[in-house]
Structure 1
Amino acid sequence: MGDRTALTIGVLGSYGGRNLGDEAILTGLLSDLRSHEPHARIIVFSRNPEHTARAHPDVEAVPWEGVSRVDSAQVLAELDLLILGGGGILYDREARRYLRVVRVAQERGLPLLTYAVGVGPLSDGVDTGMVRETLAGAAEVTVRDQESRMVLEEAGLINPITVTADPAFLLEPEEFPDRFLREEGVPAGRRLVGLSVREPGRAAERLDVDGYHRLIAQIADFLIHRIDAYVLFVPMERDDIRHSHGVMSHMTAAERGRILHGDYSPRQVLGLMRHFDLAVGMRLHFLIFAAMVDTPFLPLPYAGKVFDLAQRLGVPALRGVEREVEGPLLAEVDRLWDERDARAAETARRVAEVCDQARGTSQVTGAVLESLRSSRLPGRADGRLRATGVPGGQTADPRHR
């Protein structure tokens, strides 16, 4: 006989798109939900339900893009809670797409929780207004960084906002055997540098493709000769492969470059990071993965979220990628290698703090779920939230309370 008190929870985000960062977020989020509600029915609104169902066989996956309000309402009617979150999804021209589904949910009186969401850039009037009005009705608003809180405050949101950290910090690595590296063409017994590039687009509109390809090629060549290494490009989504080839086309030592081609899970890629002697990259979750396994890393920031990560972890971050400034970047790479052991303890301490902050999202979520469970007991008003979790406007780190 099924558990009549088990909740049905919907999760909406940029999932199913084969972006390893987004999939890492979903993996951490689902693991957290299961820790609170082992028997919950979880429905993930996905861009590719087939992919999501394969990766997470214990959840149901449904489409949300191109789905009518009537069809969305039928699925939303089955939920006790809608979670919006993980990742940078509330930004110009994209926020309205997710919030269309959220508005249908709120019209039905469905409680909303934002789960360590990323916000910004947000300047478009339509998106700004929708974010402000929609999140004003949320049971709890948690964001993954200080920049996101500032963007929401500037948008006019007056709700308490809890700053936690990216859900990917909740992941545990899976072993990445040496034989996988051999199959990817990486020779044994050599130093290995991990590199991450990304495509230009709405999240990185100021990138000049050829210019930043040449710059990263110079970094790769420098490290190959400086520490006698091979370099392995780690695509975090499919289009990164093309840009990795673009960088290699400018390298003078391209014979020592490899591109990861296998289909790996976020936990496997997290395990891969342990094989690197050094990591240099643009993608946020590539850098998070390096930090989590104590691999020395240098961010190449293209957006505020990468600067925020660098600041929280106390590592240098230069705007050389956008400005194509070779000298300072190569000097910082050289310094990172020389000082890697001296920096390790402090970086590890800061990473542990951020992991604790990521668990703060779990505290808020647990309080909301407990309130929902309580509301279903005899004598309680159905569907009313009675708990608020971490005090609003605070960070999840107790030292900031």
Structure 2
Amino acid sequence: MTTGASHPLPARSGPRIGVLGSYGGFNIGDESILSCVLGCLRSLRPDARLVVFSRNAEHTRAHHHAADQVLDWEGVSLNHVLDTLASLDLLVLGGGGILYDGEARRYLRLVRAAQERGVRTFAYAVGAGPLREPDDRAAVRSVLAEMDDVVVRDEESRLVLEEVGLERDVVVTADPALLLRPEPFTDAMMRDEGVPTDARLVGMSVREPGRAAEKLDEGDYHALLADVADFLVRRLDAHVVFLPMERHDVRHAHAVLSHMTAPDQGRILHGSYSPGQVLGFMRHLDLAVGMRLHFVIFAALSGLPVLPLPYSGKVFDFARRTGAPALVGVAREQAGLLLAEVDRLWDEFPQRRDALHARVRELRATATQTCERCGDLLDDIDGGRSASAPEPADLTVPSAGSLSV
């Protein structure tokens, strides 16, 4: 028996449910999703045996104690993984953005193996795109067509699947991390990071340029973001705190900080924090500007004015659903437009606050629908013998585990 718990496991007489995704401590957003998916499954079937297929089983065992068993699925004997798949009653794919070029076929190979062994399969608010590679497109068309239910987290993903040629009903809900519960980020933790507790704070999330800044070299890209950070320092008399949501983000945060004219007003979080603690940290902020989807989601959950910097369709889609400004590109000639948008966001937010809160409540309710659909499938599998219909609030789960940034 493979677990990360130091205490004996309770007997599990319910269904065996596998969870497959980009888990293992690589990204705070993915870890927050896993916490919420496991919370959903445990609320639906308290006696279920939950098996997580992880890209780093050691990390997942240590930080997600709701899982009864954790297996590596990369770089290991395929036979062991297949034997475990065959023992499942249900395999949950996702959530998170895993159906994209170069990765989709790898995840769907395991889903197909489960299907061939008679295991029911469910796509849990997954994200899709870009999908241009023929092998990935073919895998999506064939494997998702045979899944028992396919739920995506945004309209963009549904359109991607439609363009690929998937011919089946696809349900759009919302990102599972919308149900994450904040954990305390104390004043002592703030002091350990060198972040003032008596100053206005702006959070920033930066990552590699990617499609957001295709016409900029990396140096110009970092300089542009530094201009935004300096503007925030001057305009709001604020300190800027960079929140790396993935390990690679640290390098880009340092590069932006090095281009700032007021680097003494900037800090980078370096500690190892759980997703819930990162969400708790957002409660200390006054404004958020960033690129990572889950940074934007955490800001919205915290009721902050947030400017999503353009990076991908999933960020644009979430901005649209929350009523946040949605920019379409980053270029040096757009620096003035970007700064003007930040200025307008700050000035107008008092009038927008109630609307944001209402939209976030609606999105959280929508996110619970994924769990409800999964519950319907479990009822079909086991007749609902151990099900207890959860209230939406019951699906809001604390996060477990940390990501070293």
Which TM-score applies when normalising by structure 2? 0.89
Task: Please list the CA deviations of residues 142-181 of structure 1 after superposition, one character each: whole Å capped at 9, or x if unmatched.
Answer: 0000010111111111111110000000111111111111
Other-structure match for 2:241:
232
Query: Which residue identity does 1:45 align to in structure 2?
Result: F
1:45 equivalenced with 2:74 (yes/no): no
Query: Which residue identity does 1:160 align to in structure 2?
Result: D
| Within-5 A mapping of 1:278-297 | 278-297=287-306
> How far apart are 1:216 and its partner, in Å?
1.0
Paired residues of 2:112 and 2:143 also in contact (CA < 8 A) = yes
Paired residues of 1:248 and 1:257 also in contact (CA < 8 A) = yes
Pick the aligned partner of 2:40 from 6, 23, 32.
32
CA distance in 2, matches of 1:209, 1:107: 46
Pick the aligned partner of 2:334 from 325, 328, 346.
325
Pick the aligned partner of 1:247 from 256, 271, 292.
256
> How far apart are 1:70 and its partner, in Å?
2.0
Other-structure match for 2:346:
337
Paired residues of 1:320 and 1:326 also in contact (CA < 8 A) = no
Query: Which residue identity does 1:120 align to in structure 2?
Result: G
Pick the aligned partner of 2:267 from 245, 252, 258.
258
Other-structure match for 1:191:
200
> How far apart are 1:195 and its partner, in Å?
0.3
1:82 equivalenced with 2:98 (yes/no): no
Which consecutive residues of structure 1, in runs of 5 or more, have no partner in the other structure?
Answer: 378-401
Change (3 A) 1:159 1:300: same
Which TM-score applies when normalising by structure 1? 0.90
Change (3 A) 1:151 1:70: same
Change (3 A) 1:204 1:33: farther
RMSD: 1.7
Pick the aligned partner of 1:160 from 144, 148, 169.
169
1:212 equivalenced with 2:208 (yes/no): no
Pick the aligned partner of 1:150 from 130, 143, 159.
159
CA distance in 2, matches of 1:100, 1:320: 35
User: Highest relative contact order (Cα 8 Å, sep 6+), 1 or 2?
Assistant: 2
CA distance in 2, matches of 1:157, 1:332: 38
Query: Which residue identity does 1:54 align to in structure 2?
Result: A
Task: Please list the CA deviations of residues 229-284 of structure 1 after superposition, one character each: whole Å capped at 9, or x if unmatched.
Answer: 10100000111111100001110000110000111101111111111000000000
CA distance in 1, matches of 2:213, 2:377: 37
Paired residues of 2:156 and 2:317 also in contact (CA < 8 A) = yes
1:118 equivalenced with 2:127 (yes/no): yes
> How far apart are 1:106 and its partner, in Å?
1.4
Other-structure match for 2:279:
270
CA distance in 2, matches of 1:91, 1:228: 41
Paired residues of 1:277 and 1:296 also in contact (CA < 8 A) = yes
User: How many residues are paired up?
Assistant: 375
Query: Which residue identity does 2:302 align to in structure 1?
Result: V
Which consecutive residues of structure 2, in runs of 5 or more, have no partner in the other structure?
Answer: 1-9, 387-405
Task: Please list the CA deviations of residues 68-126 of structure 1 after superposition, one character each: whole Å capped at 9, or x if unmatched.
Answer: 43222111122111000111100111111111111211111111100000000111111
Task: Please list the CA deviations of residues 188-246 of structure 1 after superposition, one character each: whole Å capped at 9, or x if unmatched.
Answer: 31000000011246x76837422221111001000101111101000001111111000
Query: Which residue identity does 2:244 align to in structure 1?
Result: P
Change (3 A) 1:200 1:71: farther
CA distance in 2, matches of 1:200, 1:342: 32
1:358 equivalenced with 2:346 (yes/no): no
CA distance in 2, matches of 1:282, 1:311: 15
1:368 equivalenced with 2:377 (yes/no): yes
Work out the percentage of aligned pairs sharing the same amino acid: 58
